[in-house]
Amino acid sequence: MADAPLSPDLSKVDPADAWKPWRPAAGAWTPKWVAHLYRRAAFGPTPQETEKALAIGLPKTLDGLLAGEPDAADRLDLLTESGKYYTDTTSLRTWWLYAMIEGGHPLREKLTLFWHNHFATSYAKVRSTKLMYEQNVTLRKHALGRFPAFLLDMSKDTAMLVWLDSNRNVKGAPNENYAREVMELFSLGVGNYTEKDIQEAARALTGWHHDTEVTRFEFNRDLHDPGEKTIFGKTGKWTGEDVVRLCCERDACARFLVAKLYTFLVSETPPPKGLLAPLETEFRASGYDIAALVKAVLGSNLFFSEHAYRKRVKWPVECALGAINAAVPGRVPLQDVTDPLAKMGQALFAPPNVKGWRTGTDWLNSATLLARNNFAERVALGTWGKGGRPPRNATFAFVAEPAKVESPSANAPPPPDSKFDVCEFVYAAKPKDVAAVVKQLGALLYGDTVPAPVAKKLETFLLTPVAAPASGKEAPAAPPGAPGGAPAKPPEPAPPPKKGGAKKAEAKKDEPKQEPPKPLDPKDVKLESPEFKARVREAVHAMMCLPEYQLD
Amino acid sequence: MSNRRDFLKTTLGASSLLAVGGAVPEFLASTARAADEKKDTKGQKDTVLVVIELAGGNDGLNTVAPYGDDLYQKARPTLAFAKKEVQKLDDYHGLHPKMAEMKRLYDEKRLAVIQGVGYPNPDRSHFESMDIWQLADPTRAHTSGWLARTVPGMTVKDAGVPGMYIGTDRLPVAMQGADGGVISLADRASFRLQLSGNASARKSLIENLNGGTDDPAKADLAAFVRKRQLQTYTSLQKIEDALREAGGSGRGQTNEFVNGRFVRRDPDDLNTLSGKLGLIGRLIQKNLGTRLYYVQLDGFDTHSGQAEMHGKLLGELSSAIGNFFSSLQGEHSERVALMTYSEFGRRVKENGSRGTDHGSGSCMFVAGTQVVGGLVGKHPSLSDLTDGDIRYHTDFRRVYATLLDDWLGVDSKGVLGDSFEKLALIDRKKKAPAGTGGTPVPAKAPNGTVTLPEAAEETVIEKE
């Protein structure tokens, strides 16, 4: 940490100090903090971004994140245009992942993801990629905008109208679904309204429908209840617009949104009372300017402190894209990411319910953690689908069918996996020994030094040759060790071995010795040998399975 | 002559966890203790509780319909069931017409229908109310779920996994906080670690890295991740073995002609309640040792057009439960109890969209061979409503307390933080009705098998 560190006891930190802009002392703007900022404000840094951020300093880096790349507006046009053509969920998900990685404005995409979880709407009920796409465009439009206009647009969003049964909400027979969620989940939070407020707001929202073709919002005057309603103690002939306005006028609104953004951007440990007060005041005073709030948070003393460092569990999208940005040189086929994301518990466009995903430690149960381990295997061993995309520095372009893009044929085709080989960035630093390799792995994957005991174990692993398999073939996981129970004939066939990968790395000379192999002397290791590189990839996998990677 | 150390060794199999020293998860250690303590009581099998969450707020009034009540008929002009339609329990109560299998269990005195269940000051938010049920705490002061709190006090003999959630969602709140004594199983194929090449050395490395570096006093996020990582690896092998040995139902896939097209039905598909309960039944018969199973059936939030969806869901529920008990052999069916619950019921009056809005008070089912069948408690009066909702008379924690004390053998006061008057739900002397068990019921495709909505698109089950 740099100068004037905040108290390690967060309840003793003066909120005013906490949110002052951080002015790093000389030498304090380190790769660690660059990586931290990029993990929260984007989807992790690429090695080039880290280098650039270190060169231009924090203020310019932060401005750059808020503004996006110089051509971000052009990319947005192209992005918005191309998204119209996807009619299945996998393509739509891939499209959004593209936007996150290559849309030129990762912070905007990051906030779009936040709002997707906030206004959680699922394709499972909406059943239209078109409507989900349109909602996504609206989320992106307002992601760094002002909340009242945002909430109004979302209240009229067609996917949302379908999702929360708005057409069922009619004069004389109100359906409370949207009225409840707009208060409970979208603006105020539990405890900041009464059942009566909900019933009255539902009346005010009657007639806020979609058209019969389900293409757009339509106000159905005949089915609107024009009578007087009393919401939050205020009486009038309120309409849907008034419901949105009245919600935004409540003090609870700023409190609720600031707390939720704090959890997303800073820490999942609940803040002490009063810590967020300056942000709430400022947020209200600014007319709910989201960009200003985000900038204040991301540039603050508190953000660049141990109170925020690794204080979140990465969302699956962050876990997946972070590794791709940091460690994979090529442009991986992003459709390969959609299925792992679902297994990790975050299928985009399909949050589990209107409350969104359960975040924090809830992301990690044995099934989802296993999925993270298995995704790490794909990153580390480069077992991506065929093709990939044109190199990253090529002219920016979205392509209608990502799956069909062929690799540039001008260069000699590399061996199957080499263009996604995690070794490339490792060796770019020209490590001269095993310790330097581990150091570089830490810089790439953690943006930080590897704790000494961990580094030691990794070095030992890297130096240890593969054991000669006793029976010729190595089981994909540990051999079955179930005692007693004679393994019945497996009724389901064993899974096919993972494509690629299986053959290589096994080609070690087969000495028939049984005791585990000993680590080699560092002097005897050839860093450029295929065997050593195979160990490096395996180390990448292991390092991704540690809290240093899983936490954010 | 096993001692604790031997037991751990064999349980952990090829895992290198033992080498990690102090990092053996506590739940495994208690498993080992249980093995030591129980090795003389041969034949005595642990009881099992299967919990089915009906997500969305199940309409209790159309599940156990007071069809004999004019007020019911009047409040629900389009949704009420007539005398001719219901599965009649008596002159007043009838099960939903699609619940033939539940009616059979009722007739066999293996189904308890608990009426008027709820809690004070009902919350009509799905999430808040679900949390209350799953924390077993209307004040929501607890930070772990009620089943999670059950784990430490429960003896588990044959396996190191006391509780299992079968589904693709996050771990339910009810099971959160059990320190990994609970695992979730999204689907069989994906519950497998992929390590192509050098697998055992790599697995050891990861276990070693996650096991050795923490200050044991520290309970921070990093320690949490490490612990989860170790627990996952430990569970993998055991579950994989158990799943392989449990196999499939042997019923195979069928093609059926539905609505003008062929639909492939797989009785073992883990996207359906039937498939999940089928797997649980086989795991139980294989003596996996897991004592708490949790599954969900989603889609009960029937604000509009309720009749069709609700019928499908209850049909699926009923046939899945019926099949489940029919397939269990007698000795196993005697050690299994099953409970259903939902976060709330629905308003008495139907709304203007032929649906029902969030209400309070509902019914629960407890089924099992050693369950005392019958109606428990009176149907709440339809002439005495609060805010358009029926009044509950039985706190849901009385049901939990009964199952904890009388079924799982876990002190309910410790789990619930208070004493609750128990219900007469359990009779440990009852035997399975003659002729049940052994042979699986022929592949009677569950009526209206419903694919769980959230699993429809986004979960990709690895199929060979």
B120 and B220 in a single domain? The answer is no
Q: Residue B38: pLDDT above 60?
A: no
Mean pLDDT of A3-12: 85
Domain for residue B121, yes or no?
yes
Q: Which of A358, A483, A548 lies at the smallest CB-CB distance from B10?
A: A483
- Could you give the CA distance from residue B293 to residue B165 in angstroms, rounded to a whole number? 6
Does A132 or B386 have the greater pLDDT score? A132
Q: B127: which chain A residues are within 8 Å (Cβ-Cβ)?
A: 184, 353, 355
B175 and B317 in a single domain? The answer is yes
- Could you give the CA distance from residue A216 to residue A212 in angstroms, rounded to a whole number? 9
B213 and B68 in a single domain? The answer is no
Residue pair B381/B348 in contact (Cβ under 8 Å)? The answer is: no
Residue pair A314/A375 in contact (Cβ under 8 Å)? The answer is: no
- Could you give the CA distance from residue A42 to residue A68 in angstroms, rounded to a whole number? 11
- Could you give the CA distance from residue B366 to residue B371 in angstroms, rounded to a whole number? 7
B296 and B216 in a single domain? The answer is no
- Could you give the CA distance from residue B138 to residue B378 in angstroms, rounded to a whole number? 23
Helices A366-381, B221-246: axis angle to 10 degrees equals 100
Mean pLDDT of A56-78: 96
Write the CA distances from A446 to A404, A437, A552, integer angstroms.
Answer: 33, 14, 9
Q: pLDDT tens digits, residue range A530-546? A: 899 999 999 999 999 99
Q: A487: which chain B residues are within 8 Å (Cβ-Cβ)?
A: 241, 244-245
Question: Would you call A411 exposed, middle or buried from its count of C-beta atoms within 10 A (0-12, 13-18, 19+)?
Answer: exposed
Residue pair A196/A231 in contact (Cβ under 8 Å)? The answer is: no
- Could you give the CA distance from residue B291 to residue B310 in angstroms, rounded to a whole number? 30
A87 touching B (Cβ < 8 Å): no
Residue pair A334/A89 in contact (Cβ under 8 Å)? The answer is: no
Q: B266: which chain A residues are within 8 Å (Cβ-Cβ)?
A: none
Contact between chains at A546 and B210 (C-beta distance less than 8 A): yes
Q: pLDDT tens digits, residue range A91-109? A: 999 999 999 999 999 999 9
Write the CA distances from A30 to A19, A37, A443, integer angstroms.
Answer: 20, 11, 11
- At residue A361, the pLDDT reads 85
Three-state DSSP class for residue A219: strand
Question: Would you call B49 exposed, middle or buried from its count of C-beta atoms within 10 A (0-12, 13-18, 19+)?
Answer: buried
Q: B224: which chain A residues are within 8 Å (Cβ-Cβ)?
A: 361, 364, 547
Residue pair B270/B188 in contact (Cβ under 8 Å)? The answer is: yes
Residue pair B165/B185 in contact (Cβ under 8 Å)? The answer is: yes
- At residue B168, the pLDDT reads 77
B349 and B214 in a single domain? The answer is no
Helices A434-445, A316-327: axis angle to 10 degrees equals 130
A191 touching B (Cβ < 8 Å): no
Q: What is the DSSP code (8-state) at residue B394?
A: E
B182 and B206 in a single domain? The answer is no
- Could you give the CA distance from residue A474 to residue A445 in angstroms, rounded to a whole number? 28
Q: Are strands B64-65 and B362-368 parallel, antiparallel or unpaired?
A: unpaired
- At residue B388, the pLDDT reads 86
Element (H, E) at A148: helix A147-155
Shortest Cα distance, chain A CAs vs residue B408, angstroms: 24
Nearest CA among B270, B334, B259 for reference residue B296: B270
B60 and B174 in a single domain? The answer is yes
How many domains are there within chain B? 2
Residue pair A120/A354 in contact (Cβ under 8 Å)? The answer is: yes
Write the CA distances from B252 to A112, A491, B185, B264, B326, integer angstroms.
Answer: 44, 11, 21, 11, 18
Nearest CA among B13, B10, B22 for reference residue B211: B22
- At residue B414, the pLDDT reads 84
How do the domains of chain A map onto residue ranges? Answer: 10-68+253-304, 316-389+420-464+536-550
Domain for residue B3, yes or no?
no
Nearest CA among A310, A334, A293, A24 for reference residue A147: A293
Contact between chains at B199 and A345 (C-beta distance less than 8 A): no
Q: Residue B229: pLDDT above 80?
A: yes
- At residue A477, the pLDDT reads 40
A313 touching B (Cβ < 8 Å): yes
State the DSSP string of B260-273.
TEEEEE-TT-TTSH
Mean pLDDT of B214-231: 77
- Residues 298-317 on B with a CB inside 8 Å of A are 303-304
Instruction: Among A100-104, B44-48, B80-84, B308-312, name the one with the lowest average pLDDT.
Output: B44-48
Residue pair A297/A264 in contact (Cβ under 8 Å)? The answer is: no
Contact between chains at B198 and A498 (C-beta distance less than 8 A): no
B169 and B208 in a single domain? The answer is no
Q: What is the DSSP code (8-state) at residue B243?
A: H
Domain boundary, last residue among B267, B302, B319:
B267
Q: pLDDT tens digits, residue range B422-458? A: 999 999 998 887 765 544 444 444 444 433 333 333 2
Residues in chain A: 552
**Helix residue spans in B403-454 (DSSP H):** 412-416
Angle at B155 between CA B153 and CA B158, to 5 degrees: 150
Does A441 or A365 have the greater pLDDT score? A441
Contact between chains at A485 and B191 (C-beta distance less than 8 A): no
Question: What's the pTM?
Answer: 0.72
Q: What is the largest CA-CA distance in chain B?
A: 72
Q: Residue B2: pLDDT above 70?
A: no
Q: Residue B15: pLDDT above 90?
A: no
Phi, psi of B129 (to 5 degrees): -70, -40
Give strand pairing partners of B87: B95
Domain for residue B210, yes or no?
yes
Q: Residue B383: pLDDT above 60?
A: yes
Angle at B305 between CA B299 and CA B309, to 5 degrees: 40
B261 and B278 in a single domain? The answer is no
Q: Which of B237, B248, B459 lies at the smallest CB-CB distance from A478?
A: B237
The alpha carbon of residue B60 and the mean position of all alpha carbons in its chain are separated, in whole angstroms, by 18
Three-state DSSP class for residue B98: coil
State the DSSP string of B42-88.
TT-PPPEEEEEEEET---GGGTEE-TT-HHHHHH-TTTPPPTTTSEE
- Could you give the CA distance from residue A121 to residue A110 in angstroms, rounded to a whole number? 17
Taking the alpha carbons of A154, A155, A159, A163 in that order, is the dihedral positive or negative?
positive
Shortest Cα distance, chain B CAs vs residue A534, angstroms: 10
- At residue B177, the pLDDT reads 72
Write the CA distances from B74 to B93, B360, B379, B382, integer angstroms.
Answer: 16, 19, 17, 11
B336 and B387 in a single domain? The answer is yes
Domain boundary, last residue among B267, B286, B317:
B267
- At residue A368, the pLDDT reads 81
Taking the alpha carbons of A67, A68, A70, A74 in that order, is the dihedral positive or negative?
negative
Write the CA distances from A103 to A159, A488, B167, B345, integer angstroms.
Answer: 24, 52, 34, 46
Domain for residue B9, yes or no?
no
Instruction: Among A142-156, A466-480, A510-524, B100-114, name the one with the lowest average pLDDT.
Output: A466-480
Percentage of chain B modeled with pLDDT above 70:
74
Contacts of B272 (CB under 8 A, 6+ apart): B316, B320, B446, B449, B450, B451, B452
| Enclosing domain of residue B200 | 191-267
The pLDDT confidence band at residue B252, using thresholds 50, 70 and 90, is low
Domain boundary, last residue among B225, B243, B267:
B267
Domain for residue B444, yes or no?
no
Q: Residue A412: pLDDT above 70?
A: no
B229 and B179 in a single domain? The answer is no
Instruction: Among A158-172, A181-195, A460-474, B316-330, name the one with the lowest average pLDDT.
Output: A460-474
Domain for residue B12, yes or no?
no
- At residue B189, the pLDDT reads 60
Contacts of A156 (CB under 8 A, 6+ apart): A208, A217, A240
Q: A466: which chain B residues are within 8 Å (Cβ-Cβ)?
A: 197-198, 201
Q: What is the largest CA-CA distance in chain A?
A: 88
Q: Which of B126, B221, B351 lies at the smallest CB-CB distance from A311?
A: B221
The pLDDT confidence band at residue B191, using thresholds 50, 70 and 90, is low
CB neighbours of residue A100 within 10 Å:
24
Residues in chain B: 464
Could you tell me the two tokens for B340?
């259903």
Instruction: Among A172-181, B135-144, B305-314, B362-371, name the one with the lowest average pLDDT.
Output: B135-144
B85 and B104 in a single domain? The answer is yes
Could you tell me the two tokens for A435?
């310790």
Indicate which CATH number applies to the domain containing B164: 3.40.720
The answer for A112, left when phi > 0, alpha when psi is -120 to 50, beta otherwise, is: alpha
Cα of first residue to Cα of last residue in chain B, in angstroms, is 42
